[in-house]
Amino acid sequence: MQLASEAVNPAPGDDGVKAAAALAPRLKKQSRALGWLVDLWRPAVFVVILFAAWWAVTENGWVAPYILPSPGDTWNTMVENAAFLGAHTWVTTVETIIGFAIAVVIGELVAVMMIYSKTVEKTAYPLILFAQVIPKIAVAPLFVVWLGFGMEPKIVVAVLMAFFPIVVSGMAGLKSVDPEILELTSTMGASSIKTFLKVRLPASLPQLFSGLKVAATLAVTGAVVGEFVGANEGLGYVILQANGNIDTAMLFAALIIMSLMGVLLFALIQVAEWFLIPWHSSRRVTGSAATAG
Amino acid sequence: MTAMSPEKSKLQLDPVVEIEHLNVTFSSKRGHRVVAVEDASLTIGQGEFVSIAGPSGCGKSTMLKVVAGLTRATRGSVRLRGSEVTGPRQDIGYVFQRAALLEWRNVRANILLQAEMRGMDRARANRRADELIAMTGLAGFEKSLPHELSGGMQQRVSLCRALLHEPDVLLMDEPFGALDALTREKMNIELQRIWRETGTTVILVTHSVSEAIYLANRVVVMSPRPGRIQEIIDVPFGSNRDFGETLALPEFGDISARVRDLLGATHAED
């Protein structure tokens, strides 16, 4: 009887402390997004210093305006051409997002097929690697020849750029599942689809998401590279035009919008990660909280 | 080496696990053949608790995996409840050294994975989960995620998951090997009680001599490479065992000395 009562009280030593610790991360969940924003102060300070230096250099006339426009000029260009820039930004955004979405679907499908079939892996992996080594900018003209001057070749280049990190991280994620858990599920008589949906896929998400973040920024690059080669709209086209007219203020405006687009896409994926795999991010937060406290 | 005849043990009970002349050989990529288990025979009765003790690499874990159908026998046969083991078996519960929990599922959802994968009746699974959570002292932790739990607590979850579907036999592969000595002792006491309360047949692989003896009706001592059953020792204590009292019994000391003797110099506890 004495045994039973001892057993029911979970370990006074290690388990009791853990119990208290278990409540802490839940309280912190709300403030996590806020904490992320607060953490932005360092890069923010850096950007402010950069702008200040930029302003100082142009304001004192150390560099000619056609080489480096002042922040004011750039800002004015942006405001004056808001509609023009907006239209072109929209085109590039659509190309990027469609390209990224296609890359996610195809990339994850290929990763899944390679995980489940050794033959597919042995056939496809070297080919994918080979395709990755070919510089995308070198093949982009070919897509223009094949697909014309519309959005299609840009989307294809964006897909090609974003595809590789998604396949690699998707595969790494699917392989990261604990083999003992797979042994367990085989003794549970579960179908392989059930095991995939309930065990393999969720286990792969943390790794997949790190690939998605890399892929998102590459998709922007892909779309712009596609536009460089042959386009009459999009931010890549604006940059080429501005470059031809030595309109550096316009060039800078387009560059800034492009970087903001990449950052925004990255942030969107970060938010999706918080919602889809809270267990993963909460673990990281507890980790840092543990070292801080 | 099997001259000790496992059959002499009192087995008036229904056999649940029957291992006959089991041989397991692995061949490595370079063509080396490694004999993991050699000519092992063992019959385990309904409700029995059998510990398999031996040094690392003596094939004790392999034997457990063969019983579960996770590893193939090279020769010989294993029968579970009379039917030959040919592939992964669903009438067993398995506990690994690492808890192997899904880190995105809380305690309760991890236990219920067993039910979801099997398509068990929901109401029954929930009731059973409640019982097990209460029995293993996990009450109040149902919503905790695995990384919020200590190693001992995680292993309790793993045990609940393995018992949810009321398996014919519970297979435990060094379940407490990664725990500190005090937690391990406590888990031993709990496992003793849980075994008593559920009446499940248990095979426990361990390299802790005292754990093996304290928990078991019989201790199977294995020799290293190739893994053979050296001797099967009956543990004559009743089913309700107080940890301190049992370890202090003179017979416990005798059995312990015998097991250590068999394990020889190759063994160092923990």
Q: B155, exposed or middle or buried, with CB in 10 Å at 0-12, 13-18, 19+?
A: buried
d(CA B239, CA B216): 9
Judge whether B6 lies within some domain.
Answer: no
pLDDT tens digits, residue range B44-88?
988 899 999 888 777 888 888 999 888 888 888 888 888 888 888
- According to DSSP, residue B14 is labeled P
Enumerate the residues of chain A whose CB falls inside 8 A of the CB of residue B98. Answer: 178, 180
Whether B96 is covered by a domain: the verdict is no
Which of A89 and B23 is assigned the larger pLDDT?
A89
The per-residue pLDDT for B119 is 86
Number of domains within chain A = 1
Q: B17 — phi, psi (to 5°)?
A: -120, 125
Residue of A nearest to B186 (CA): A7
Q: What is the pLDDT of residues B109-140, one digit of tens each?
A: 999 999 888 888 889 889 989 988 988 888 88
Task: Spell out which residues of chain A touch residue B145, defining contact as CB-CB under 8 Å.
Answer: 22, 279, 282-283
d(CA A133, CA B43): 60
Strands of B49-53's sheet, edge to edge? B92-95, B169-173, B201-206, B49-53, B218-223, B228-234
Residues of B in contact with A289 (CB under 8 A): none
Residue B214 placed within a domain: yes
Whether residue B153 and residue A8 make contact (CB cut-off 8 A), yes or no, is no
In the predicted model, is pLDDT for residue B99 greater than 50?
A: yes
Indicate yes or no: CB of A11 within 8 angstroms of CB of B70: no
Any B CB within 8 A of A183 CB: yes
Last residue of a domain, one of B166, B191, B213: B166
The boundaries of the domain holding residue A130 are 69-292
The domain that contains B237 carries what CATH number?
A: 3.40.50.300
* Domain-embedded: residue B232: yes
For residues A6 and B183, the model is more confident at B183
CB distance B150–A187 less than 8 Å? Answer: no
Which residue from A25, A186, A189 is facing B70, i.e. has the nearest CB?
Answer: A186
Enumerate the residues of chain B whose CB falls inside 8 A of the CB of residue A190. Answer: 117-118
Same domain, B251 and B137: no
- B148 and B61 assigned to the same domain: no
Cα separation, B64 vs B44, whole angstroms = 13
Do B83 and B173 lie in a common domain? yes
Cα–Cα distance for residue pair A243/A224, rounded to 1 Å? 14
pLDDT of A166 higher than 80: yes
Which residues make Cβ contacts (< 8 Å) with residue B152, sequence separation at least 6?
Answer: A11, A14, A15, B179, B183, B186, B187
Q: Is residue B268 very low, low, confident or very high in pLDDT (cuts 50, 70, 90)?
A: very low
Q: Which residue has the tokens 């790794």?
A: A207
Query: For A210-265, how does the pLDDT look when each residue is reduced to its tens digit (9 = 90+)?
Result: 999 999 999 999 999 999 988 889 999 999 999 999 899 999 999 999 999 999 99
Is A180's CB within 8 Å of B70's CB? no
Say which of A18, A190, A195 has its CB closest to residue B153: A18
Using alpha carbons, select from B222, B182, B190, B217 the residue that is nearest to residue B206: B222
Do B136 and B210 reside in the same domain of the chain?
no
B202: containing domain: 12-91+167-266
Domain assignment of residue A64, yes or no: no
Instruction: Provide the token pair at A62.
Output: 């150390």
Instruction: Please name the member of A187, A195, A202 whose beta carbon is closest to the beta carbon of B104.
Output: A202
What is the residue whose two structure tokens read 């009192």? B10
Residue A223: inside a domain: yes
Confidence at B240, pLDDT banded by 50, 70, 90: confident
Chain A residues with CB under 8 Å of B173 CB are: none
Residues B159 and B178 placed together within one structural domain of the fold: no
Q: Is B131 exposed, middle or buried (0-12, 13-18, 19+ CB in 10 A)?
A: middle
Q: Which of A17, A105, A184, A110 is nearest to B162 (CA)?
A: A184
The answer to whether the complex's ipTM is over 0.85 is no
Residue A102 lies in a domain: yes
Q: Where do the H-state alpha helices sit in chain B? A: 60-68, 107-118, 122-135, 151-163, 181-198, 209-215, 243-248, 250-263
Amino acid at site A38: V
Q: What local confidence, expressed as pLDDT, does residue A292 receive?
A: 34
Domain count, chain B: 2
Strands B49-53 vs B218-223: parallel, antiparallel or unpaired: parallel
What is the pLDDT at residue B204?
94
Mean pLDDT for A129-142 is 87
Residues of B in contact with A180 (CB under 8 A): 96, 98, 100
**Do B75 and B119 share a domain, yes or no?**
no
pLDDT at A278: 82
Nearest to B189 among A3, A21, A203 (CB): A3
Q: B189 and B149 in one domain? A: no
What's the number of CA atoms in the CB half-sphere (13 Å) around residue B31?
A: 0
Tell me, what amino acid is at B162?
Answer: A
Confidence at A284, pLDDT banded by 50, 70, 90? low
